[in-house]
Structure 1
Amino acid sequence: MDNSTLVLSGVKILVIDDEPEVRDIIKRILTLYYASVMAAANAAAALEQMKTLRPDVILSDIDMPRMDGYQFIREVRNLPAYKGGQTPAVALTAFSRREDRTNAINAGFQKYLSKPVDFEELIDTIASVVGQ
Protein backbone atom coordinates (compact mmCIF):
# COMPACT_ATOMS: atom_id res chain seq x y z
CA MET A 1 0.00 0.00 0.00
CA ASP A 2 1.39 3.38 -1.07
CA ASN A 3 1.51 5.89 1.81
CA SER A 4 0.49 8.71 -0.54
CA THR A 5 -2.92 7.08 -0.96
CA LEU A 6 -3.42 7.09 2.81
CA VAL A 7 -3.38 10.90 3.06
CA LEU A 8 -7.16 11.06 3.56
CA SER A 9 -7.49 7.87 5.57
CA GLY A 10 -10.38 8.21 7.99
CA VAL A 11 -11.36 11.71 6.80
CA LYS A 12 -15.14 12.09 6.48
CA ILE A 13 -16.00 14.16 3.41
CA LEU A 14 -19.43 15.43 2.42
CA VAL A 15 -19.64 15.97 -1.36
CA ILE A 16 -22.51 18.10 -2.67
CA ASP A 17 -23.13 18.33 -6.40
CA ASP A 18 -26.35 18.21 -8.41
CA GLU A 19 -24.64 16.28 -11.25
CA PRO A 20 -24.69 12.52 -10.48
CA GLU A 21 -21.66 11.81 -12.69
CA VAL A 22 -19.57 14.44 -10.91
CA ARG A 23 -20.57 13.10 -7.48
CA ASP A 24 -19.69 9.57 -8.57
CA ILE A 25 -16.27 10.46 -10.00
CA ILE A 26 -15.30 12.53 -6.96
CA LYS A 27 -16.51 9.82 -4.60
CA ARG A 28 -14.47 7.19 -6.45
CA ILE A 29 -11.32 9.29 -6.41
CA LEU A 30 -11.63 10.17 -2.71
CA THR A 31 -12.27 6.56 -1.69
CA LEU A 32 -9.06 5.56 -3.50
CA TYR A 33 -7.36 7.76 -0.88
CA TYR A 34 -9.27 5.96 1.89
CA ALA A 35 -11.61 8.85 2.69
CA SER A 36 -15.08 8.11 3.98
CA VAL A 37 -17.35 9.87 1.47
CA MET A 38 -20.97 10.87 1.88
CA ALA A 39 -22.77 12.51 -1.03
CA ALA A 40 -25.77 14.77 -1.46
CA ALA A 41 -27.53 15.82 -4.66
CA ASN A 42 -28.49 19.25 -3.33
CA ALA A 43 -27.82 21.70 -0.55
CA ALA A 44 -31.00 20.91 1.42
CA ALA A 45 -30.09 17.21 1.58
CA ALA A 46 -26.55 18.14 2.61
CA LEU A 47 -27.83 20.31 5.47
CA GLU A 48 -29.88 17.34 6.69
CA GLN A 49 -26.80 15.11 6.53
CA MET A 50 -24.78 17.68 8.47
CA LYS A 51 -27.10 17.10 11.44
CA THR A 52 -26.05 13.49 11.89
CA LEU A 53 -22.88 12.80 9.94
CA ARG A 54 -20.49 15.53 11.14
CA PRO A 55 -18.07 15.52 8.19
CA ASP A 56 -14.47 16.63 8.63
CA VAL A 57 -14.65 18.62 5.39
CA ILE A 58 -17.29 19.75 2.90
CA LEU A 59 -16.74 19.77 -0.86
CA SER A 60 -19.56 21.73 -2.49
CA ASP A 61 -20.54 22.78 -5.97
CA ILE A 62 -21.64 26.41 -6.26
CA ASP A 63 -24.14 26.30 -9.13
CA MET A 64 -27.03 24.19 -7.84
CA PRO A 65 -30.79 24.67 -8.20
CA ARG A 66 -32.97 26.03 -5.37
CA MET A 67 -30.13 26.68 -2.90
CA ASP A 68 -26.72 27.41 -4.40
CA GLY A 69 -23.38 26.70 -2.76
CA TYR A 70 -23.08 30.24 -1.41
CA GLN A 71 -26.42 29.98 0.37
CA PHE A 72 -25.52 26.50 1.59
CA ILE A 73 -22.22 27.54 3.17
CA ARG A 74 -23.85 30.58 4.79
CA GLU A 75 -26.41 28.21 6.37
CA VAL A 76 -23.57 25.98 7.59
CA ARG A 77 -21.67 28.95 9.02
CA ASN A 78 -24.82 29.96 10.95
CA LEU A 79 -24.78 26.62 12.78
CA PRO A 80 -23.10 26.45 16.18
CA ALA A 81 -19.61 24.92 16.11
CA TYR A 82 -20.78 21.73 17.84
CA LYS A 83 -23.29 21.20 14.99
CA GLY A 84 -20.70 21.66 12.25
CA GLY A 85 -20.73 25.42 11.78
CA GLN A 86 -16.93 25.57 11.58
CA THR A 87 -16.45 22.57 9.29
CA PRO A 88 -13.75 23.35 6.69
CA ALA A 89 -15.23 23.71 3.21
CA VAL A 90 -13.96 23.71 -0.37
CA ALA A 91 -15.94 25.25 -3.23
CA LEU A 92 -15.81 23.25 -6.44
CA THR A 93 -17.25 25.04 -9.44
CA ALA A 94 -17.09 25.74 -13.15
CA PHE A 95 -17.04 29.45 -12.30
CA SER A 96 -13.42 30.47 -12.64
CA ARG A 97 -13.28 34.25 -12.59
CA ARG A 98 -11.30 36.04 -9.89
CA GLU A 99 -14.50 37.49 -8.40
CA ASP A 100 -15.99 33.98 -8.19
CA ARG A 101 -13.07 32.90 -5.99
CA THR A 102 -13.51 36.03 -3.86
CA ASN A 103 -17.26 35.41 -3.54
CA ALA A 104 -16.67 31.83 -2.44
CA ILE A 105 -14.14 32.81 0.22
CA ASN A 106 -16.35 35.67 1.43
CA ALA A 107 -19.34 33.32 1.68
CA GLY A 108 -17.42 31.03 4.05
CA PHE A 109 -15.39 28.54 2.01
CA GLN A 110 -11.73 28.11 2.95
CA LYS A 111 -10.62 27.03 -0.53
CA TYR A 112 -11.84 27.24 -4.11
CA LEU A 113 -11.22 24.83 -6.99
CA SER A 114 -12.31 25.16 -10.62
CA LYS A 115 -13.87 22.36 -12.66
CA PRO A 116 -12.61 20.33 -14.28
CA VAL A 117 -10.58 19.69 -11.16
CA ASP A 118 -7.09 18.27 -11.15
CA PHE A 119 -7.39 15.27 -8.82
CA GLU A 120 -3.97 15.75 -7.23
CA GLU A 121 -4.90 19.35 -6.46
CA LEU A 122 -8.24 18.15 -5.03
CA ILE A 123 -6.52 15.68 -2.69
CA ASP A 124 -3.87 18.23 -1.65
CA THR A 125 -6.51 20.89 -1.02
CA ILE A 126 -8.69 18.63 1.11
CA ALA A 127 -5.65 17.44 3.06
CA SER A 128 -4.62 21.04 3.70
CA VAL A 129 -7.99 22.17 5.06
CA VAL A 130 -8.21 19.22 7.46
CA GLY A 131 -4.59 19.57 8.53
CA GLN A 132 -3.35 16.24 7.16
Structure 2
Amino acid sequence: MPDQSMSFQSLRLLVVDDDADTRILLTFLFELEGAEVIAAASANEALKIMSSFKPDILISDICLPDEDGYSLLLKVKNLEANRGRKIPAIALTASILENDRKRALLAGYDIYQCKPIDLDELTSMVATLTGTEQYV
Protein backbone atom coordinates (compact mmCIF):
# COMPACT_ATOMS: atom_id res chain seq x y z
CA MET A 1 0.00 0.00 0.00
CA PRO A 2 1.38 3.45 -0.88
CA ASP A 3 2.43 5.86 1.84
CA GLN A 4 0.18 8.84 2.35
CA SER A 5 1.75 12.28 2.39
CA MET A 6 0.28 15.75 2.49
CA SER A 7 1.14 18.89 0.64
CA PHE A 8 -0.41 22.09 1.89
CA GLN A 9 1.31 24.33 -0.68
CA SER A 10 -1.19 26.99 -1.79
CA LEU A 11 -3.76 25.83 0.78
CA ARG A 12 -5.48 28.70 2.59
CA LEU A 13 -6.72 28.19 6.16
CA LEU A 14 -8.74 30.37 8.49
CA VAL A 15 -8.16 29.41 12.12
CA VAL A 16 -10.55 30.89 14.70
CA ASP A 17 -9.86 30.37 18.39
CA ASP A 18 -9.90 32.74 21.36
CA ASP A 19 -6.89 30.93 22.86
CA ALA A 20 -3.71 32.62 21.60
CA ASP A 21 -1.58 29.51 22.12
CA THR A 22 -3.90 27.45 19.91
CA ARG A 23 -3.85 30.11 17.18
CA ILE A 24 -0.05 30.29 17.27
CA LEU A 25 0.37 26.50 17.28
CA LEU A 26 -2.00 25.88 14.37
CA THR A 27 -0.62 28.78 12.35
CA PHE A 28 2.93 27.52 12.85
CA LEU A 29 1.99 23.91 12.07
CA PHE A 30 0.25 24.63 8.79
CA GLU A 31 2.65 27.37 7.64
CA LEU A 32 5.50 24.93 8.21
CA GLU A 33 3.75 22.63 5.71
CA GLY A 34 3.43 25.47 3.17
CA ALA A 35 -0.11 26.68 3.82
CA GLU A 36 -1.21 30.30 4.04
CA VAL A 37 -2.87 30.76 7.42
CA ILE A 38 -4.74 33.67 8.91
CA ALA A 39 -5.85 33.36 12.53
CA ALA A 40 -8.65 35.22 14.28
CA ALA A 41 -9.51 35.48 17.97
CA SER A 42 -13.27 35.94 17.49
CA ALA A 43 -16.14 35.37 15.07
CA ASN A 44 -16.33 39.09 14.31
CA GLU A 45 -12.63 39.20 13.45
CA ALA A 46 -12.98 36.08 11.29
CA LEU A 47 -15.87 37.59 9.33
CA LYS A 48 -13.86 40.76 8.68
CA ILE A 49 -10.98 38.63 7.42
CA MET A 50 -13.36 36.74 5.11
CA SER A 51 -14.07 39.96 3.21
CA SER A 52 -10.61 39.82 1.65
CA PHE A 53 -9.35 36.28 2.35
CA LYS A 54 -10.98 33.26 0.78
CA PRO A 55 -9.90 30.21 2.79
CA ASP A 56 -10.05 26.64 1.53
CA ILE A 57 -11.00 25.42 5.00
CA LEU A 58 -12.22 26.80 8.32
CA ILE A 59 -10.93 25.47 11.64
CA SER A 60 -12.93 27.04 14.44
CA ASP A 61 -13.39 26.74 18.16
CA ILE A 62 -17.03 26.43 19.20
CA CYS A 63 -16.78 28.61 22.33
CA LEU A 64 -15.83 32.10 21.16
CA PRO A 65 -16.16 35.36 23.09
CA ASP A 66 -18.55 37.39 20.91
CA GLU A 67 -20.63 34.72 19.23
CA ASP A 68 -20.24 30.97 19.10
CA GLY A 69 -18.74 28.83 16.38
CA TYR A 70 -22.20 27.68 15.26
CA SER A 71 -23.24 31.21 14.39
CA LEU A 72 -19.89 31.86 12.74
CA LEU A 73 -20.20 28.74 10.59
CA LEU A 74 -23.69 29.70 9.43
CA LYS A 75 -22.45 33.14 8.35
CA VAL A 76 -19.35 31.71 6.65
CA LYS A 77 -21.40 29.06 4.81
CA ASN A 78 -23.86 31.74 3.60
CA LEU A 79 -21.03 34.02 2.49
CA GLU A 80 -19.29 31.20 0.64
CA ALA A 81 -22.56 30.07 -0.99
CA ASN A 82 -22.99 33.62 -2.34
CA ARG A 83 -19.49 33.30 -3.82
CA GLY A 84 -20.45 29.96 -5.38
CA ARG A 85 -18.19 28.01 -3.05
CA LYS A 86 -18.57 25.46 -0.29
CA ILE A 87 -16.03 25.59 2.50
CA PRO A 88 -15.25 22.55 4.63
CA ALA A 89 -15.08 23.19 8.36
CA ILE A 90 -13.59 21.53 11.42
CA ALA A 91 -15.00 22.25 14.88
CA LEU A 92 -12.53 22.41 17.76
CA THR A 93 -13.82 22.17 21.29
CA ALA A 94 -12.96 21.06 24.78
CA SER A 95 -16.34 19.37 25.10
CA ILE A 96 -16.39 15.60 24.74
CA LEU A 97 -20.17 15.31 25.12
CA GLU A 98 -21.94 13.33 22.40
CA ASN A 99 -24.74 15.92 22.17
CA ASP A 100 -22.18 18.66 21.43
CA ARG A 101 -20.61 16.53 18.69
CA LYS A 102 -24.02 15.90 17.13
CA ARG A 103 -24.93 19.58 17.35
CA ALA A 104 -21.70 20.62 15.60
CA LEU A 105 -22.20 18.11 12.79
CA LEU A 106 -25.85 19.11 12.37
CA ALA A 107 -24.79 22.76 12.26
CA GLY A 108 -22.64 21.96 9.23
CA TYR A 109 -19.18 21.21 10.57
CA ASP A 110 -17.65 18.34 8.63
CA ILE A 111 -15.53 17.08 11.52
CA TYR A 112 -15.66 17.51 15.30
CA GLN A 113 -12.23 17.50 16.97
CA CYS A 114 -11.88 17.51 20.76
CA LYS A 115 -9.10 19.38 22.51
CA PRO A 116 -6.36 18.76 23.35
CA ILE A 117 -5.63 18.68 19.65
CA ASP A 118 -3.93 15.66 18.13
CA LEU A 119 -1.83 17.48 15.50
CA ASP A 120 -1.27 14.43 13.29
CA GLU A 121 -4.98 13.68 13.29
CA LEU A 122 -5.86 17.31 12.56
CA THR A 123 -3.48 17.55 9.61
CA SER A 124 -4.93 14.31 8.23
CA MET A 125 -8.44 15.72 8.59
CA VAL A 126 -7.45 18.90 6.75
CA ALA A 127 -5.82 16.86 3.99
CA THR A 128 -8.91 14.69 3.61
CA LEU A 129 -11.36 17.60 3.55
CA THR A 130 -9.30 19.66 1.11
CA GLY A 131 -8.17 16.84 -1.15
CA THR A 132 -4.50 17.49 -0.45
CA GLU A 133 -3.70 13.86 0.32
CA GLN A 134 -1.11 12.39 -2.00
CA TYR A 135 0.03 8.81 -2.30
CA VAL A 136 3.65 8.00 -3.07
Same fold by TM-score, threshold 0.5 exceeded? Answer: yes
What is the deviation of 1:85? 5.9
SS of 2:47's partner is: helix
SS of 2:51's partner is: helix
Counting only pairs closer than 5 Å after superposition, residues 48-127 of structure 1 correspond to structure 2 as 48-83=48-83, 86-127=86-127
Partner of 2:129: 129
Distance in 2, matches of 1:84 and 1:24, equals 30
Which structure 2 segments of 5+ residues have no match? Answer: none
| Segment of structure 1 superposing worse, 97-106 or 79-88 | 79-88
Task: Output the amino acid matched with 1:94.
Answer: A
Dislocated runs of 4+, deviation >6 Å: none
Partner of 1:36: 36
Distance in 2, matches of 1:115 and 1:83, equals 32
Give identity over the alignment, percent: 38
Distance in 2, matches of 1:81 and 1:57, equals 14
Asked whether the equivalents of residues 51 and 83 of structure 1 are also in contact (C-alpha less than 8 Å), the reply is: no
Larger % of helix: which? 1
Instruction: Give TM-score scaled by structure 1 length.
Output: 0.90
SS of 1:37's partner is: strand
Asked whether the equivalents of residues 80 and 87 of structure 2 are also in contact (C-alpha less than 8 Å), the reply is: no
Structure with higher RCO (Cα < 8 A, 6+ apart): 2
Q: Over the residues paired in the alignment, what is the CA RMSD in angstroms?
A: 1.7
Asked whether the equivalents of residues 50 and 84 of structure 1 are also in contact (C-alpha less than 8 Å), the reply is: no
Asked whether the equivalents of residues 54 and 84 of structure 1 are also in contact (C-alpha less than 8 Å), the reply is: no
Aligned residues: 129
Larger Rg: 2
